[in-house]
Amino acid sequence: MKRNLAFALGLLLVLPALVALRVLPWRHKYEVSTKTASEIVTASAGRAAVMAGMEWRLKSITEGVPQQGARPIPPRTKVAVAVYSVKPVTAQAVKWFDDPKAGLACPAVAVDGLGRRWKATIRRDLVPEDGQHAYGCVIVKDRDENVPLPLNQERTIRAVFVVPQDALRSLGLEVRVSTWEQGLVRLNR
């Protein structure tokens, strides 16, 4: 009887611990990816928005012309090329750009006037490389070393989207800023 009781108590303690070890890492990843923004700032045309010590500005959203030989895009869609910038204006923001373990990420999503959303495409054959813009707010030199961004120096970022024809005229950007907190920067034209 005591042996069965000890076994049952052991199961009551060990089983939840094993489940927690398997579930908690996935739960954290889920919470980070679905967490709503704790702060939302909006910048209208030509103005900057400041979040987490970083200044964000929409430079342009233009229609891109697919390169010669590129795979075709779906019918009734257009290529949209968005150029925006980020500039650290505080010492803490500079640290986020320097430290690859800081977790700084800033994926952009195109949003039209109807609220429809599109992630940036990873296709590099749609528009030619211009060598002037980064494809993310953090540029990684090596696996453990980021290209630093000094205080008050601007980095321009280019994101390419494939969107319906009717969305191009009202397109804006939403940039999810992930430092230790989640924030959302809306860049409208």
Give the CATH number, domain containing residue 122: 2.60.40.1240
- Taking the model in full, what pTM does it have? 0.73
Structural domain total, the chain: 2
Q: Does 10 lie in the same domain as 102?
A: no
Domain containing 2 equals 1-34
Q: For residues 19 and 153, what is the distance between their CA atoms, to the nearest angstrom?
A: 47
Tens digit of each residue's pLDDT (9 = 90 or more) over 74-91: 999 999 999 999 999 998
Q: Judge contact between 83 and 166, C-beta under 8 A.
A: no
Residues 29 and 85 in one domain: no
79 burial type by CB count under 10 A (0-12 exposed, 13-18 middle, 19+ buried): buried
Report the share of the chain in percent with pLDDT over 90. Answer: 32
The verdict on 24 and 105 lying in the same domain is no
